[in-house]
Each structure stands twice: as C-alpha cells, then as structure tokens.
C-alpha cells in the first residue's frame, strides 16, 4: 500500500479479515498503519477478551486483546493514547479487554494525528 493510500485509510472494525489461529483455535486479525506498524487483534480462550473462550463468530466478542505492533524505536508512539487509557488497559505492548468502539476510536485517533503519521513514515536512505 502506497503512503498516499495509508493517509486516506480509516480503521473499520467490521472490515477486518479474521482467521482462526492454527494451534489454539482463537480468532485473529491484523491492521496495518503502514510498514511494520499496526494492530494485531485477537480473541478467544486464554486471551484478554470477553468471553475468554472460543466462539464461532469473531464479531461475537464484547472485548478484545490488541497488540500494538511497532519497532522498538517507535514505542514512544503509544504516548498518543490518553494517559488514563494507557494506565487502565495498556501493558507491555498489549491492550487488554478493549471494546470495538474503543479500538475504532483510538485507531482513528492514530490515523488522524499528523505527528503519529509522520513518525510512521519510512525513513529514506541518503542515496535516494
């Protein structure tokens, strides 16, 4: 996906492509902000989701576990989440028990924050 298209995309929970994990049978979906930066959403038995069991429909969960994926040097970008949200839900790269509405609100906040998007842009090599 080109950088211009990344700027235009908006997170839509209902458009996520869900697959079953090959070992534990839990549900998982990925969302990319571009490059290696993005979200990995999972739900099922043993996950920080509600219910904490495997069910037939990935949209049937009320809360999800979300991993914020970004290179180590960009972890400061999590600071774009409001402090109370970070304190209540975020630990070690994992957002716990996140509703669809919360996830949509914060993913769109990321997409709408110029500083966040600027930090996600790939760094050009000096020879380019």
CB 40 within 8 A of CB 26: no
Pick the closest to residue 20 from 29, 31, 32, 7 (CA basis). Answer: 29
- State the pTM of this model: 0.77
Q: Specify the pLDDT at position 54.
A: 95
The domain limits of the chain are: 3-114
| pLDDT single digits (tens) 60-100 | 999 999 988 776 666 666 666 777 777 788 877 788 999 99
């Amino acid at each position: 996906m080109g950088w211009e298209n990344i700027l235009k995309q908006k997170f839509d929970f209902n458009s996520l492509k869900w697959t079953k994990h090959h070992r534990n049978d839990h549900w998982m979906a990925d969302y990319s902000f571009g490059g290696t930066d993005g979200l990995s959403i999972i739900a099922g038995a043993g996950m920080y989701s509600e219910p904490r069991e495997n069910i037939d429909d990935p949209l049937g969960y009320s809360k999800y576990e979300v991993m914020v994926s970004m290179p180590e040097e960009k972890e400061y970008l999590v600071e774009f989440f409001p402090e109370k949200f970070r304190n209540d839900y975020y630990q070690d790269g994992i957002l716990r028990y996140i509703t669809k509405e919360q996830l949509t609100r914060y993913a769109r906040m990321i997409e709408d924050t110029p500083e966040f998007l600027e930090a996600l842009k790939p760094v050009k090599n000096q020879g380019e």
